[in-house]
Structure 1
C-alpha cells in the first residue's frame, strides 16, 4: 500500500515522537532540518537516533536529515551510518541531482533505507526525471514552500502547477510515489481537503502533514471508497473471465488502461 499520509514531528521534541506514532499517519518522519534550531541540531540528532534504535523493525518512522550541502547534513549521514537506528525511510532535503542519491547509498551501504528526495528548487525540477529514477528512491516529496520562494511566487495553485505536473510525470515514469507539500494553515480544514483532492487528481499518491489534525483528512482523500474498491474488483474479475482479452462490463470496454486503474485502486485499499 502506498503512503497516503506522512506526519512530520520536530526532532528537537522527542516527547512528541510516541504521540506522533499514535496519530494514524501511514508514516511518521522525524525532522532534523527545518524544525530544529541551529543550536539544537546535535541534541536532536542524538535523541532521534537513540529513540529510533529502540524501536522494533516494523516501526513506520523515517527521518529527514539536513541537506547534504551543509555540515549538519553530513553529520546526520555519518551519525546514521554509525548508529543502530534503522529508519523506515530517509528524506533528503534540497536534493539537486541524482548523484546525491548515489552518495547516500554509498555511505549507508546495505543499511540504506528507502530514499525520499525532496524537490524544492527550479534546478532540482530540471533534474526531476533523473532523481525520481535513481536506484533506491521510493518516492519524492514536493517541497512547495522552498520552490515558491526560489521562484519568488506565492503558494497558490497556478504558480506551482508546472512543478506539480512535472513531478507527477517523472514519478509515474519511474513507478514511485509522490507526496504533496504540507498544508501550512492547520486550521484551514476546507482548504486542506480541497487542495488534497486537486493533487490527487493530478497524480500524487499522498500528502505530508505538519499537525496530527490533518492526518484523517489526507487519509480519507487518498483512500478509495468501498464503491471504488468493489468496482475495481468487478473489472478484474471480468478481465480474468475473458481470459485476459478485452471485455465488456456494464456496456463499457475493459482493456489495459482500465485494468491498470483498477489495480491501482486495490493497491491503495487498506485490505486489498
Structure 2
C-alpha cells in the first residue's frame, strides 16, 4: 500500500524527514510514534499527496504521488488532526457535500450518508448543525466523512486527541471494524495505549529518522523487560538508596518521585529490595508498556 525508500523532506535548510524507509502492507494498521517535531506529520502529508518529497522514493497504492496525485487521493481517506467540518451545515449535509467532491451522485450519497451516520452512531443527529455536537461526535463525523469515497487507505492524524475515555473507546471500536472490512490504516498518535490497541506494526520516529520498527509486543521485548518495579520513597530520599538497588534489574531510572527498575520478575525483585532493608512508601509491579519503549528511545526531555 505504501513503500518509501530513503524518503527526505526539507523546508529550506531544515530537514524534517531524514531518509526513512517504510513498508505498509494491505489490510494492516500501521502506526507512527514520535515526539512533537519528529517528522510524523511531514511524512503523512507526503503519503497523502499534499506535500512533495525532496528526495527518495515513494509509492502509494502502487503509484507515484507526484505523477498520480489526483488518482491516489481519490482512493484515500484523510482524518486531519483538527476537525475541519462545515459547522453551519448539518451532519447529513457534511457527508453529502463532501461526497460531491469525488463526483458521487446525489442518489448514491443519500444512501451512503445514512450508512455512515449509522456507523458513527450519529443517525439521531442527522439534521443537527455540526456546531451543536460534542467533541466526540465531531470526531466521529470527521472519520465518517473520510469514508464517503470507500477509501482503500485511511490516514488518521491523532484521531482521539482531546476525547474522553468513552469517546476514545467508541472510536477504537469503529477503527477495528474498518480494519476488519479490509481498510488499511495509518495512524499517528501520542497515546501509547492506543498504539498498542490498534497497531499491528509501528515505527518510532525521532529527529526525522526511524529509530525502531516492529509490532508493539516485539518492541517491548526488544527494548524493555517483561516487568517494571516502581519504588516510591520520601521526596529526595531515593538518591540515597540508588546504590542499594542498582544491581537488581536489567536497567534502572531515577525520577524525581520514584525509582524504576526494569526486570524480568517484579515481585521477586521487590522481595530482594525488602531483604536489603529497603522500605519504600509504596511499590508497584506492572508489565512493561510501549510508553517505556518510547521514552527509552526518544528520552524524557521535552523537545519543541
Which structure dedicates a bigger proportion of its chain to strand?
2
Which structure dedicates a bigger proportion of its chain to helix?
1
Greater Rg over alpha carbons, structure? 2
Q: Same fold (TM over 0.5)?
A: no
Structure-2-length-normalised TM-score: 0.29
Tell me which of the two structures has the higher relative contact order, counting C-alpha pairs closer than 8 angstroms and 6 or more residues apart: 2
